Amino acid sequence: MTLKTKSLLYNFLGFALLFIIVRFVAATFTNLSGFWLPLTAAVAASILAPKFQVIKTHEGEKMFMKWLFIKGVKEVK
């Protein structure tokens, strides 16, 4: 599995997990209904989810992660 595939998979899993959590919390504690519930969950999940990206360096390809709750950019090993 290439690093680009892994980063895409990590981005999807991070978004999907947060989407499910936020949708459950919003459905339980708010009066949102219809398409507002998944729309709110999607916006919140895309803001809160970590972002993974593969960058080519002189040492080869490396995967980096940026997240709202972590200062700076971290290399994923």
Could you tell me the residue ranges of all domains in the chain?
A: 3-76
Distance separating alpha carbons of residues 28 and 67, to the nearest angstrom? 26
Q: Which of the four pLDDT bands, split at 50, 70 and 90, describes residue 77?
A: confident
Q: Summarize the confidence of residues 53-76 as an average pLDDT.
A: 94
What do you get for the CA distance between the two ends of the chain, in Å?
A: 14
Distance separating alpha carbons of residues 62 and 15, to the nearest angstrom? 21
Average model confidence (pLDDT) for the chain?
Answer: 95
45 pLDDT higher than 90? yes
| Percentage of the chain exceeding pLDDT 70 | 100
Distance separating alpha carbons of residues 47 and 22, to the nearest angstrom? 12
25 pLDDT higher than 90? yes
| Predicted TM-score (pTM) of this structure | 0.88
Sort 22 into a burial class: Cβ within 10 Å, 0-12 / 13-18 / 19+. buried
